[in-house]
Amino acid sequence: MKKLYDWLDNRTGIRDHIRETLFENVPGGSRWRYVWGSTLTFALMIQFITGIFLWMGYSPSGQTAWESVHYINNHMTGGHFLRGLHHWTAQVMTVLLVLHLMQVVIDGAYRAPREVNFWFGVILLKLTLALSLTGYLLPWDQKGFWATKVATDILGGTPLVGEYLKTLVLGGSDYGHHTLTRFFALHAGILPISVIALTAGHIYLFRRHGIHPKKPLKGPDEFFWPEQVLKDAVACLAVLVTVLVLHFSFNGAHLDAPADPSTNYPARPDWYFLFLFQFLKYFPGHWEILGAIVLPGIAMTLVFLMPIIGKSEKGHKFNVGLLFGILVFAAVLTYAAVNADKNNESLQASKAQAEREATLVKKMAANGIPPEGALALLQGPKLFAAHCASCHTYGGEDGLGGKVDKPSAPDLKGFASREYLTELLHPERYGSEKFFGNTAHIKKSKMLGFLEDEFEFIEESEMDQLVKAISAEAKLPSQVNLDKSDKSDIEAGHELFEEIGCVDCHALGGWNADDYSAPDLTGYGSREWMMGIVHNPEHERFYGSKNDRMPAFGRDEKLTRKQIERIVDWLRGE
């Protein structure tokens, strides 16, 4: 190894570089207050490493971004951990940047000859926030989409060039594929390259000028190795532990439902921009530019001018006071924003609904995502909640996890399945609230009377065969194999349909095809049958003139054929 090291040193001079780094003089000895630069470099390395691996599984487009992040989270080896590490390190980096800035300003390490290095640091702070902002959109989920929309709307308010800049960033007049590709190019290309270049310059200037000691000195000078290296290593370990604790405490990085521009989502920026969000509330209408551009611009200009302002002792004290004033002001506004949201019942209800949608779509995506994207998975339950849940329920809820106060029509979860029919055809359940108990049909129901009269005389095995026969009409994807294996029972069930008198009212297959007074059960629960009854329940094939309030969604053009397909496919589990 020594020969290899000597060979390498002979060609690169690595030995002198390492010695220069490790044995740099630390005036007054090692101190914990000097660790923040190293922790930031460490956090930056975590971001680059995890970001490269996440890049391998990510696909930036409107139909694949959310889907690829879902794949990373649930199928890519180590993906959930990598994404959580990347997300929470970004959050911690914001805190580390503020701590590092505080240490530099308090210690006066921004004064001559370190002005340029300070400006590099301020620009790095802005770039890091830009990385967070651009990364927020990349999952293309509701939270990232709407939070970024707030930020770009603020950008659009910039005098003279606002609309041009907004169009440039979005890649058009509205959010879409080009928005994602541009944000991804910024997040994974332009901004990281800029950060690397500025970090290299920052470190070079730091090495050139050395550590600015905090006076009074606490002791004799020391080399960087080993005391300061140890302190830096412990601090970096603490950062890693903090990130891991956050990751496991919050189960990684959250993924909301796919972005849907047509919905009303409770848009909020991430926590480190909440103060600005709250600040803008005090500048309504045409005054918004003052809170969004002018005043923040003045504050950042003053921060940038700190090396010039701080030449005198009074100027230095002004800088320290200004920094603490900004931080306290931001903290107060952040608290006000959180408190206002906490007491906003409408907002909390919207957030709860958004969380239910996120849970639902991820559960549905586990069974496969259609070519048109994951957003299509939610269209069925959303349409059901909007048009059907005023009467029907789905598992006792509105399809999106919300409660339905007084359902007045059957619960449709598992419709036409064997389990559903077994419960429906029990006399004590048929007239319950879950099925027809709250409908007009129950008042003089021949079906309920039939079940009460005949149920006890039907053998359990016969009822099982009857259920299998009727359910097989639906051709449910979840029962394909069962229907194939139970072919004989299904045939026997068809015979029982005639023997026990079901044909007196209903049709099924060839039975009673021309003379029925209740819904035709041929194809019952199939895609075609369900689309038909949603299109027009008053058709003679279904309820005819006996229809109880159900709208003819297709006939009366309340829903398009595509929308009806969405609802039906969701109910059938397709």
C-alpha span between 567 and 571 (Å, rounded): 6
Name the β-bridge partners of 141: 258
Radius of gyration of the chain (CA): 33
3-class DSSP assignment, residue 449? helix
Neighbours of 72 (CB within 10 A): 22
3-class DSSP assignment, residue 440? helix
Task: Report the CATH number of the 26-267 domain.
Answer: 1.20.810.10
25: enclosing H helix or E strand: strand 25-26
In the chain, where are the structural domains located?
A: 26-267, 271-342, 361-572
Our CA angle for 207, 212, 218, nearest 5°, is 125
C-alpha span between 275 and 261 (Å, rounded): 25
Q: What is the dihedral of CA 242, 245, 247, 251, to 10 degrees?
A: -160
Closest CA to 273 of 168, 180, 148, 179: 148
- Within the chain, which residues score under 50 in pLDDT? none
First to last CA, the chain: 63
470: enclosing H helix or E strand: helix 460-472
* DSSP result, 166-219: HHHHHTSSS-SHHHHHHHHHIIIIIHHHHHHHHHHHHHHHHHHH---PPSSP-S
C-alpha span between 40 and 128 (Å, rounded): 11
C-alpha span between 410 and 432 (Å, rounded): 9
For strand 222-223 and strand 25-26, is the pairing parallel, antiparallel, or unpaired? antiparallel
Name the β-bridge partners of 393: 411
Strands (E), 306-388: none
Residue 171: burial class (beta carbons within 10 Å; 0-12, 13-18, 19+): middle
Closest CA to 322 of 304, 349, 342, 344: 304
Q: Quote the pTM value.
A: 0.86
The two structure tokens encoding residue 206: 């730091």
The two structure tokens encoding residue 517: 């007074």
Sign of CA dihedral 315, 320, 321, 325: positive
**Cα dist from 348 to 257, 340, 352, 425, whole Å:** 17, 11, 6, 41
**Cis before 226? omega within 30:** yes
CA 2 to chain centre: 52
**Cα dist from 88 to 91, 92, 99, 316, whole Å:** 5, 6, 17, 34
CA neighbours closer than 13 Å in the CB half-sphere of residue 305: 10
The two structure tokens encoding residue 498: 């005639």
Closest CA to 306 of 112, 36, 98, 35: 112
* DSSP result, 90-156: HHHHHHHHHHHHHHHHHHTTTSTT-HHHHHHHHHHHHHHHHHHHHHHHTT-BHHHHHHHHHHHHHHH
C-alpha span between 478 and 420 (Å, rounded): 13
pLDDT value at residue 509: 77
C-alpha span between 398 and 407 (Å, rounded): 10
The two structure tokens encoding residue 81: 């951990």
Q: Is 159 left (phi over 0), alpha (psi -120 to 50) or beta?
A: beta
Sign of CA dihedral 437, 441, 443, 447: negative
3-class DSSP assignment, residue 390? coil
Which residues are CB-contacts of 226 (< 8 A; sequence separation ≥ 6)?
none
C-alpha span between 275 and 295 (Å, rounded): 13
C-alpha span between 38 and 216 (Å, rounded): 23
